[in-house]
Structure 1
Amino acid sequence: MIQNDQELRVTQERIVRFESLLAQLRVSASREEFPQVSGGYRREIERMHTEVMEYLTRHSSDAPLAIQR
């Protein structure tokens, strides 16, 4: 869960890196192996996007969300 603007920036940078890796895999992985190697990156990108949107749609004066374990 993103708690501050620094964590937001790090997460956004990580999304860019993972999307770049996926773009490379589209070319370098075989058609057969691509679904297996791309799935984990896609799920992680989607998870991070969700966290970014949750953070960005909370007003800055709202208290941070509790960390769920």
Structure 2
Amino acid sequence: MIMNDAELAVTQDRIAWLQKLLVQLRVTARSDEYPLVASGYLSEVEKMQSEVLVYLRRHSSQSLQAAS
């Protein structure tokens, strides 16, 4: 769970890094191995994007308990 704007920035940086890695893998990996290689990274991106959206759904004045 993202607790503050600093953690949000770190998570967004990690998402961007993984997306760049996936772009590179789409070119360098064989087509038959790409789904296997990419699936873990894609799952991690989806999880982190979900956490970002949960964090962004609440106003900065809301506590984490009120948003749950």
Normalised by the length of structure 1, the TM-score is 0.90
Q: Deviations over 1:14-64 (max 9, x none)?
A: 000000000000000001110000001111001000000100111111112
Is residue 64 of structure 1 aligned with residue 64 of structure 2? yes
> How far apart, CA to CA, are the structure 1 residues paired with 2:31 and 2:53?
32
Structure 2: which 5+ runs fail to align? none
CA RMSD of superposed structures (Å): 0.8
Q: Percent identity?
A: 52
> How far apart, CA to CA, are the structure 2 residues paired with 1:36 and 1:16?
20
> 1:16-31 residue pairs with structure 2 within 5 A?
16-31=16-31
> Greater helix percent: which structure?
2
